Amino acid sequence: MLTYLILLFTILPAIELAVLIHVGAYIGLGNTISLIILTGIVGASLARYQGFTVMRNIQNSLNQGNMPTDAMLDGLMIFTGGIVLLTPGFITDAIGFFLLIPLTRALIKHWVKIKIQHMMSDGRAINIHSSSARRHNDFEDADFHE
């Protein structure tokens, strides 16, 4: 986990900076900044639209008495994609758009589900089972039942 954090907060920004400098040298500073702003605006609009679609899907599932696990995972991915698109850079923009576009999001969601299943089968995922609420530091833990 620490390795992923090091990659996320040190190596990725360095690569982003190198790409921005290279693109800026090729298309110019103004065009580079305009492109970053444009991807932010398009990404925010797409995240908003996709977010409303997922909220409708969650509501429909709940109205039918079903747990909307796929829709909730979609919502998490759309939220993450929207946040990533707000950070300046072309690599993060690509990741953000992959999380917002339904076709690529479905592929990523399938991969995430497989990873979660492997973690659960290896005993690396945390399962919370409780028959009664517990109190810790004046906070009460909720019961989780399926």
Which amino acid is residue 67, in one-letter code? M
Q: What does the pLDDT look like over 108-139, one tens digit per residue?
A: 999 988 888 888 788 776 555 544 445 555 55
What string of H, E and C letters represents the secondary structure of the chain? CHHHHHHHHHHHHHHHHHHHHHHHHHHCHHHHHHHHHHHHHHHHHHHHHHHHHHHHHHHHHHHCCCCCHHHHHHHHHHHHHHHHHHCCCHHHHHHHHHHHCHHHHHHHHHHHHHHHHHHHHCCCCCCCCCCCCCEECCEECCCCCC
**Long-range CB pairs of 4-13, under 8 A, 24+ apart, other chains included:** 12/91, 12/92, 13/89
Domain residue ranges of the chain, discontinuous segments joined by +: 15-119
Q: What does the pLDDT look like over 9-52, one tens digit per residue?
A: 888 889 999 999 999 999 999 999 999 999 989 988 888 888 88
Query: Measured between alpha carbons, how far is 64 from 69 in angstroms, rounded to an integer?
Result: 13
Structure tokens at 95: 């990741």
